[in-house]
Amino acid sequence: MSDQLPPMTDTIEGPEMIENSDAAERDIPASDVSSPMLTQWTTLRKQVLQRQRELGPKAIFGAAAKSGGVYRWGLDLANLQPFDGGLFIEFLSRVATNSAVNSPRFNDLDIQQLLADINDLAAMQGDEWTIKQSAMMVVAAASLPGLFKHLDEASWWGLLGTIQEFRETWLDQDGAHPAFQIAVVEIGLTLSVFLEPLPSCRRMGEHALQALARFIDQTEDCVGAALEYPGDVRLLLASLIRCQRLLDAFADQLHGQKKRQQKRFEKLLVKLAEVGRELTVWTLALSRGEGSNAWTATTGSHANGSRRVDIGAGGLL
């Protein structure tokens, strides 16, 4: 299988409403929201939120979506500095799953600072950070529908642009790297399912399938690459499990496809399950008896968070 994915001819989708402007290249709306674009923005919100009611995280992930836990699998134990501990991720994960964010601990959370943190996160360099970085960007992507309640139009499109640009940086990278799976495949599937009313996000689904096929083409290679980052193995396992659930939802979009395409999709699911089983064995081998990650400290909030989110009801393990 070639290491090159076909180029994306369209990426960020705002309204097909903008023509002959610099913003049109990425379909990001101009700042004047008093124009007819405001009506289209309102329509988009209604369509996306209706989609969430029908096929949102709670429908796809079931009990695992409670309090946003499905998006914190493996992350609650991780050192997320220089960001604001786990607050950054807990807020977004709850928003992603339409869970309550009225706890006093969120009272002082500054949304604009949160957006700045996501921009900083997307720009971070360093191999030791890439898997955590990608996993956190997935949470940001999943939170986009819920963030309609917290962001104005310009900020929302800006965040979508940041997430898309981050994903694009991984398109031509090592296809066996865990961050490739998380950044290219899971973010692509997340946007294609949850932002399905946006045509360019919807089209990302097929591209994500191609990227997934590239990632799992050689089980030994992708598992071996994951084991180079033993402290982050469960982040990859978490991503693969979420992708399996998302693919079940994405299958609805394949109805009417040719039998050859359907068979290719079914083979992909079988291969994904094979890689998932292999990584599950390694995740358990790299865990302590009580379920925490053997590569993290045994005390402190990270270890406690790991046990709650990863082995509790609806947990990763």
Residue 12 in domain: no
Residue 29 in domain: no
Residue 41 in domain: no
Please tell me the total number of residues recorded for the chain in this structure.
Answer: 317
Q: Are 231 and 296 in contact (CB under 8 A)?
A: yes
Residue 212 in domain: yes
Query: Looking at the predicted structure, is the pLDDT value of residue 33 above 60?
Result: no
Give the chain's radius of gyration (CA, Å): 19
280, two tokens = 């599950």
Task: Report how many domains make up the chain.
Answer: 1
Q: What are phi and psi of 88, to 5 degrees?
A: -55, -50
292: left (phi > 0), else alpha (psi -120 to 50), else beta?
beta
Residues 6+ apart with CB under 8 A from 217: 1, 175
The one-letter code for the residue type at 121 is: L
Residue 120 in domain: yes
Residue 129 in domain: yes
Q: How confident is the model at residue 1 (pLDDT cuts 50, 70, 90)?
A: very low
Q: Are 188 and 211 in contact (CB under 8 A)?
A: yes
CA angle at residue 175 from 295 to 197, to 5 degrees?
100
What are the pLDDT digits (tens) for 236-273?
Answer: 999 999 999 999 877 766 555 667 777 888 889 999 99
Residue 169 in domain: yes
Query: Mean of the pLDDT values across residues 160-167?
Result: 97
Query: Mean of the pLDDT values across residues 114-141?
Result: 92
Tell me the pTM: 0.83
Residue 84 in domain: yes
Q: How confident is the model at residue 19 (pLDDT cuts 50, 70, 90)?
A: very low
Instruction: Give the range of the structural domain holding residue 143, as residue numbers without chain letter.
Output: 46-308
**If you average pLDDT over every residue of the chain, what do you get?**
80
